[in-house]
Structure 1
Amino acid sequence: MAFTFRTLTLGAIAAAAACSTGLALAQDPAQWPTKPIKLTVPYTPGGSTDIVSRTVFDAVSKKLGQPVIVENRPGANSTIGVTQLARAPADGYSFVSVLAAYTVNMSLYKKLPYKPTDFVAVSHMADLPMFLFAANKLPVKSAKELAEYGKTHPLNYASSGTGASAHMIGARFTQENGLNAQHVPYNGSAPILSDLISGQVDVLFDPALVPMPHAKSGKIKVLAVASKQRWPGEPNVPTMEESGFPGFVMNSWVGLLAPKGTPQPIVDKLSRTIADAVQSPEVKNKLEQLGFGAVGSTPAQFQALIDKDTAMYKKVIETAKVSID
């Protein structure tokens, strides 16, 4: 099934919300879906979240026999697109893709136009392991040596902006190891790598896709990965736990939410369909090429992850006194 791309103005969104009764339409889940599904991606077209969402839902569309309309609604660290879903009808035809940033935002913003209870979890679709990279100028060969070095030497760690996954992971690493480290937020991720290579930036937690080739060529160092297990694509890179940091697991991830009140049989059916899709060899290989690991969870498993990460990021943000309001 081909995707249909559409850009909506805020006025059109408001008009659609005003016309909606907000009541879910009961239907036999065995027959669902009987019309196109709308998927909101709260990030720009061509980004990792967008590509992963389209890759997964291309397969989902084929399995369900209905097209998926993908609408990009970027801005405000994903809160614009998520807010749109909170106002959508709970009829089983509106969903949103979210990153781990969704759980960060619960504590990062003092006020949000939605509540966690406005949504139901559908699926933890994919994981994005975060690797620890360091500038060559640092006299360290492991994450443990970096932690020891940072206790007596000032360091800085980069991210693509306040509240980004790299910021949160760097803040936790700094807090738990008593490091003398300063966060350096960039306006996007493009300039970070050149500064890491030149040594203007000391440390970066980032997915493998862009920095890893530079680590393999010797321009920067890769010290560890913050996932539970070693990444299959980089089996020689130890985990943070193997490096002496028990419990230090902080993947980013991509998941799917539905509006509160969406019929549970539909949520369950879509969750199963996503699990089948992401574990298919074709989709799994595509995700791995992007640096993602296929998951495909139950709604309960995804909700447990959301709850766990929300609590973890709340602690990190409060300790670091981070806010963007």
Structure 2
Amino acid sequence: MSIKTDATRLPRAARTAFLSRSLRSTLSSAGLFTALLTTALVSAPAAYAADAWPSKPIKVIVPYTPGGSTDTVSRVVFEKVAQSLGQPIIIENKPGANSTLGVGVAARSTPDGYTFVSILAAYSANMSLYSKLSYKPSDLVPVAEMAELPLFLFASKKLPVKTVGELVAYGKKHPDTLTFGSSGVGSSAHLTGERLAMESKVKMTHIPYNGSAPILPALVSGEVSVAFDPLLVPMPHVKSGKINALAVASAKRWPGEPNIPTMEEAGFPGFLMSSWTGLLAPAGTPQPIVDRMAKEIAAATASADVAKKLTDLGFVPVGGTSDEFRKLIERDTVRYAEIVKAGKISLD
């Protein structure tokens, strides 16, 4: 009596063995059998890894200090993603060298879906700020954008200006007197200030600080004339009359501050310089895992609680696909390279 076996009802391991026996009995060419079996064995681990992922905690490297924009967005988003995936997501801060230290660690990590790195727009700028990096763009793959970070132009009350037009006029009337602060050489705030100086044809001396925290007191005291910065920390001081908000460098006005014009409305067409934060994975990470993480990020940023947290902190929740994020990185790599070249800026 013969017993017919339905391979579709067998467990995965038994099904694989059954199919291998069937192939051996039906293929007359040993070479063909070997080729087919080799292909199956090579593809099986990747498929299995994607199906089983995640089976242990995931690490997300943040190449900045705790409490900054990248760290804040990562903790808000991945707290939600961890709940959905059913595995802890550990944030590991590795600051240094304008984020290149932590990014380099991620680039050299095993591409198994258990190591990722969160980045800011500075990742694109670093491509031209450094003549040599410890990694190549091809060493990492985009996963998804998480949030946009609009940059506002704030001015010291010591400066008699309330609009961008008045700022430009003042700078032309008083050459070599304007300064602008930033969170560091090569930061988005720095390059945005350089772009304003170039497009307005007004000389502004750059004063870099060690992070965003020192910029606000410098604005209040008049140590610096202006600075591009996210709205969260400076805005209460705008409300209290200690500093002025002149414009926002994004496509639309910020919903919570509709009286602040965009840079385009202030006379600078195409002046879109908002920063952003997103996630990368080591090259070779299985595409199904990349796609799954992108979907999890999109779901998290679309959720009411996460969206509210990010918006309250001055971020615009985004989400999206790997390809969309890749195009954003490439666009800003070109944009920042032009500013770096024109300003003769280097971090080497």
The TM-score normalised by the length of structure 2 is 0.84
Match among 189, 199, 208 for residue 185 of structure 1: 208
The 1-side partners of 2:171 and 2:295 are apart by: 45
In the TM superposition, what whole-angstrom CA distance separates every residue of 1:101-149 from its partner, at most 9, and x where no partner exists?
1111111111100011111100010011100001123232211221232
Give the residue type in structure 2 aligned to 1:27: A
Give the residue type in structure 2 aligned to 1:53: S
Label 1:141 to 1:314 Cα distance change in 2 as closer, same or farther (>3 A).
Answer: same
Show the counterpart of 1:131.
152
Show the counterpart of 1:275.
298
Superposition CA RMSD, Å: 1.6
The 1-side partners of 2:247 and 2:131 are apart by: 33
In the TM superposition, what whole-angstrom CA distance separates every residue of 1:68-116 from its partner, at most 9, and x where no partner exists?
1221111111111100111011111210000011111111111100011
Cα distance, 1:187 vs structure 2: 2.6
The 2-side partners of 1:233 and 1:75 are apart by: 34
Match among 98, 104, 113 for residue 125 of structure 2: 104
Cα distance, 1:25 vs structure 2: 5.3
SS in 2 for 1:190: coil
Show the counterpart of 1:225.
248
Stretches of structure 2 lacking an aligned partner (at least 5 in a row): 1-43
The 2-side partners of 1:313 and 1:255 are apart by: 17
Match among 52, 69, 80 for residue 90 of structure 2: 69
Range with greater deviation from structure 2 (99-108 or 187-196): 187-196
Show the counterpart of 2:340.
317
Show the counterpart of 2:225.
202
Show the counterpart of 2:77.
56
Give the residue type in structure 2 aligned to 1:115: K
Show the counterpart of 2:315.
292
Structure with bigger helix share is: 2
1:245 aligns with 2:268: yes
The 2-side partners of 1:75 and 1:320 are apart by: 23
Kindly report structure 1 stretches of 4+ aligned residues shifted beyond 6 Å: none
The 2-side partners of 1:185 and 1:69 are apart by: 31
The 1-side partners of 2:161 and 2:142 are apart by: 41
In the TM superposition, what whole-angstrom CA distance separates every residue of 1:197-226 from its partner, at most 9, and x where no partner exists?
122210110000111111111111101000
The TM-score normalised by the length of structure 1 is 0.90
Give the residue type in structure 2 aligned to 1:318: K
Percent of residue pairs identical: 61
Q: Which has the larger radius of gyration?
A: 2
Range with greater deviation from structure 2 (41-50 or 168-177): 41-50
Show the counterpart of 2:16.
none
Give the residue type in structure 2 aligned to 1:240: M
1:172 aligns with 2:195: yes
The 1-side partners of 2:142 and 2:288 are apart by: 13
Cα distance, 1:193 vs structure 2: 1.5
In the TM superposition, what whole-angstrom CA distance separates every residue of 1:126-181 from its partner, at most 9, and x where no partner exists?
01110000112323221122123223323110112111121110001101111121
Show the counterpart of 2:104.
83
Range with greater deviation from structure 2 (227-236 or 315-324): 227-236
- Cα contact 1:25–1:91 (8 A) shared by 2: no
Stretches of structure 1 lacking an aligned partner (at least 5 in a row): 1-23
1:26 aligns with 2:46: yes
The 1-side partners of 2:109 and 2:54 are apart by: 17
1:119 aligns with 2:156: no
